[in-house]
Structure 1
């Protein structure tokens, strides 16, 4: 592995951090746009398990997770040379796309069964991302653990909603 891309605190480094976090929040925003009408019209009509969190929990949790994801990706980008970072960041980008795909499947298409398939793929991709990040930056891996825990819970919730409806 070669030297870091830039020293912490430089303008380029801070711009890269802002871009990384911004991309993750942007994906979250796209997911929110796909979700908005269904949350108001369709989702309230579904039978949900007793452990379903109140709707107000999702926004703050996802915002925090997207910020941590962005910081994790930035740390990997910063800590590794281009060749070393390419694989982990490619898998990170793929999981981010699948994350958006889950919102499309569940809320956009209103298809909890399809969403179960997508979220299981997401679980595996986030786990793979965390393991790949670990090889580059241990803290980046730890930043993904809350995300992994949340989507594991979301998987159980998704399966329950699918089964109840």
Structure 2
């Protein structure tokens, strides 16, 4: 059987981009059981409440929901469990230093397969205040209206 090629996104955390200011990103591998991989290949996962943390020199992903595999038996996994992240030691130290500064957290942005291996994109993020969220929403809305006005103006000129 040939190896899988390419990049297949399983789940994205769109809410994270709204709730946090993303400072830095890093790609990490995941330690998964067989039924978790099968469930992910079926395209089922949720990153909504997920977060990552560093404990005793190891990085962990917690509260990510990967539902039980439909054809699984007693070997099925618990849907929300701690999963170890595969990172180099210097990457873990860098993330731990950034998070320990205060105000920063590790948030999963997306879960995907890269050349057949399950990966998660983590972001070092700082929480937005409510007024920052409103400001970002207003900017996006203004940009959209300006583009719409430009399109209608260009159509009238033709």
Which one has the bigger helix percentage? 1
Is the TM-score greater than 0.5? Answer: no
* Greater Rg by CA: 2
More strand by share: 2
